[in-house]
C-alpha cells in the first residue's frame, strides 16, 4: 500500500514516541498510527489534551473549526436541526475517532459531548499542512471518512426500515459493540454490562423516535429478559442472540 520511498510508520516499534502518546489509543487504532516517531513528535508538540464536561458544545453548524481532534475518551454527538427545533443525531464518535472535517470548510453538523469527553486537539492549519505533506496521513483520514460513510448508510437503513423495537435493539447492540468489541465479534454468550452514553431523549433523537417510545421499548426488552436496567443508565445484555434477532438485521 505504501510506496517504497515512503517512510514506514513507527507505531509498532519499541518506542521513542512522545510519552503522552505511548498509551494513547489514537496512536494505535487512530490516525496517529500512520505517523513516524518524528512526525508524531511534531504533531504532539502542538497538541492539547483536555477534558470537557457532559453537554459541552464543541462546534455549531456553520462554524469554521479552529481545531481538529482525536476523541480519547467518551462519546461525541454530531447533530443536525430543522428550523422548528426538531433535532437528529447524525453520528456518534467514540475513541479513537478523528473529529473534525478534513478541510476547513464550515461544519455541516454541530458537535456536542454526550458524556464527559477527553480530546487531543490540534490546530487546524497544522493538521491540514501535515495531511497535504504526509500522504499516508491523508490516506488514513480518507479511510476513516469512508468508514463514517458506511456507518451513516447503515443508519439510514435502520431509520428508514426498522420498527421502533428494532431500532432500540440496534442501538443497544451498537453501544455494546463499542463497549466490548471482542465479546461482540466472537459472539460469546456471556452477559455484558455497560453505561449508556446517551439519555433517553438523545437516544430518541438518534433513532428518530420520541423519548416515550424509547422508554416503552426498553421496558419491553426488560420484560422479555433480554436486558436488565439499573439506575436507568446501566444496561446488562442478558441474551445477546435474542437482542440480535430483535434488531432485525
Partner DNA sequence: CGTAGTTTTGAGTTTTGTCAATAACCGTGG
Partner DNA sequence: CCACGGTTATTGACAAAACTCAAAACTACG
Q: List interacting residues with DNA (CB under 7 A).
A: 163-165, 199-201, 208-216, 218-219, 229-233
Residues paired with 52 in a beta bridge: 117
DSSP state of 20: H
Q: In this structure, are residues 102 and 49 in contact, taking their beta carbons and an 8 Å threshold?
A: no
Chosen from DNA, its own copies, none, partner binding at 164 (C-beta under 5 to 8 Å by type): DNA
Q: Does 160 bind its own copies (CB under 8 A)?
A: yes
Shortest separation between residue 92's beta carbon and DNA, angstroms: 16
Q: Are 102 and 58 in contact (CB under 8 A)?
A: no
Q: How far is the CB of 20 from its own copies (least distance, A)?
A: 29
Is residue 1 a contact residue for its own copies (CB under 8 A)? Answer: yes
**List 8, 161, 188, 219, residue binding its own copies (CB under 8 A):** 161
Task: State the Cα–Cα distance between residues 136 and 142, nearest whole angstrom.
Answer: 10
Residue number with CB closer to DNA (28 or 228): 228
d(CA 201, CA 208): 10
Of the residues 108, 181, 189, 191, which one makes contact with its own copies according to CB under 8 A: 108
47 with 122: CB under 8 angstroms?
yes
In sequence order, what are the residues at sequence separation of 6 or more whose Cβ sits closer than 8 angstroms to the Cβ of residue 207? 158, 159, 164, 167, 168, 171, 214
Total number of residues binding its own copies (CB under 8 A)? 44
Task: Name the packing angle between helices 164-179 and 211-223 (round to 10°).
Answer: 80
Task: Identify residues 35-94 at the interface with its own copies (CB under 8 A).
Answer: 78, 80, 82-84, 86-88, 90-91
> Is the distance from CB of 10 to CB of 17 less than 8 angstroms?
yes
Residues of this chain that bind its own copies (CB under 8 A): 1, 3, 78, 80, 82-84, 86-88, 90-91, 101-103, 108-109, 132, 135, 138-139, 142-143, 145-146, 148-150, 152-157, 159-162, 205-208, 248-249
Amino acid at each position: 500500500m505504501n510506496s517504497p520511498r515512503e517512510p514506514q510508520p513507527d507505531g509498532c516499534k519499541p518506542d521513542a514516541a512522545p510519552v503522552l502518546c505511548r498509551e494513547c489509543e489514537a496512536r494505535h487504532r487512530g490516525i496517529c498510527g500512520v505517523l513516524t516517531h518524528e512526525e508524531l513528535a511534531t504533531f504532539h508538540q502542538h497538541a492539547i489534551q483536555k477534558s470537557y464536561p457532559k453537554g459541552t458544545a464543541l462546534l455549531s453548524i456553520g462554524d469554521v473549526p479552529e481545531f481538529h481532534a482525536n476523541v480519547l475518551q467518551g462519546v461525541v454527538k454530531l447533530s443536525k436541526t430543522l428550523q422548528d427545533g426538531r433535532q437528529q443525531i447524525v453520528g456518534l464518535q467514540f475513541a479513537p475517532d478523528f473529529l473534525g472535517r478534513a478541510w476547513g470548510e464550515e461544519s455541516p453538523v454541530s458537535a456536542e459531548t454526550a458524556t464527559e469527553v477527553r480530546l487531543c486537539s490540534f490546530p487546524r492549519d497544522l493538521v491540514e499542512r501535515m495531511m497535504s505533506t504526509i500522504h499516508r496521513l491523508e490516506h488514513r483520514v480518507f479511510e476513516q471518512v469512508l468508514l463514517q460513510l458506511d456507518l451513516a448508510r447503515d443508519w439510514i437503513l435502520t431509520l428508514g426500515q426498522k420498527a421502533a423495537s428494532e431500532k432500540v435493539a440496534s442501538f443497544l447492540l451498537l453501544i455494546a459493540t463499542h463497549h466490548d468489541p471482542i465479546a461482540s465479534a466472537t459472539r460469546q454468550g456471556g452477559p455484558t454490562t455497560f453505561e449508556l452514553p446517551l439519555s433517553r431523549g438523545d437516544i430518541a433523537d438518534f433513532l428518530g423516535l420520541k423519548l416515550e417510545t424509547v422508554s416503552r421499548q426498553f421496558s419491553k426488552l426488560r420484560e422479555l429478559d433480554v436486558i436488565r436496567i439499573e439506575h436507568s443508565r446501566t444496561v446488562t445484555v442478558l441474551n445477546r442472540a435474542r437482542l440480535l434477532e430483535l434488531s432485525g438485521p
